[in-house]
């Protein structure tokens, strides 16, 4: 047993250095992340809160996505455009969107259908869709591509 402990002690600095060295690589993943964070029932709408993070390496001057909302039967009930606006590199933004005449419980899933706008100071880009990562914290409301 002492041999195993000494091997573990010898490997610990190398393992720690490897894990710490990986942290900057994860922070600069090169993706555009959108997370469906929460939903809330309003009087005549469902309010969705998203967290968007721009890790693309570009300062984006305009970003928006076309999203389809599916009802409980799996039928598209609304197509909407979610506008995230300007997002500098490594910037995280929280945005809320109200889906009128919908109850949150009636939404079975959300699908990113297309990139509506993705612009940097260099002009239009496809990086917003090519590097998109979508996820949901709401188990009953998946959000993806």
CB 111 within 8 A of CB 68: yes
Confidence of residue 22 (pLDDT cuts 50, 70, 90): very low
Beta pairing, strands 123-124 & 76-83: unpaired
Position 105 pLDDT exceeds 80: yes
Q: Reduced to 3 states, what is the DSSP secondary structure of residue 25? A: helix
Q: Is the pLDDT of residue 65 over 90?
A: yes
Q: How far is CA 57 from CA 49, 87, 119, in A?
A: 24, 11, 13
Give the β-pairing of 109-120 and 132-136: unpaired
Question: Does position 133 have pLDDT exceeding 70, yes or no?
Answer: yes
d(CA 100, CA 48): 11
What would the CATH number be for the domain defined by 28-144?
A: 2.60.40
Q: Per-residue pLDDT for 20 more than 90? A: no
Residue 121: predicted pLDDT: 85
Residue 3 has pLDDT above 60, yes or no: no
State the sign of the Cα–Cα–Cα–Cα dihedral 51, 81, 116, 59.
negative
Please list, residue by residue across 33-54, b when 16 or more beta carbons sit within 10 angstroms of its beta carbon and e when fewer do.
Answer: bbbbbbbeeeeebbebebbbbb
Res. 96: pLDDT tops 90: yes
* Predicted confidence (pLDDT) at residue 72 exceeds the cutoff of 50: yes
Mean pLDDT, range 115-130, rounded to an integer: 90
CA distance 8 to 105: 50
pTM above 0.95, yes or no: no
Q: For residue 128, is pLDDT > 70?
A: yes
């Amino acid at each position: 047993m002492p041999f195993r402990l000494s091997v573990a002690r010898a490997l610990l600095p190398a393992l720690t250095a490897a894990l710490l060295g990986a942290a900057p690589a994860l922070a600069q993943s090169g993706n555009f992340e959108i997370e469906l964070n929460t939903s809330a029932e309003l009087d005549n709408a469902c309010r969705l809160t998203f967290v968007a993070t721009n890790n693309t390496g570009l300062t984006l001057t305009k970003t928006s996505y076309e999203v389809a909302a599916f009802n409980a039967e799996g039928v598209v009930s609304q197509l909407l455009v979610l506008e995230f606006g300007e997002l500098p590199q490594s910037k995280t933004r929280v945005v809320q969107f109200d889906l009128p005449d919908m109850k949150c419980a009636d939404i079975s899933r959300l699908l990113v259908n297309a990139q509506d706008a993705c612009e940097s100071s260099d002009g239009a880009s496809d990086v917003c869709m090519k590097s998109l990562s979508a996820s949901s914290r709401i188990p009953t409301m998946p959000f993806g591509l």
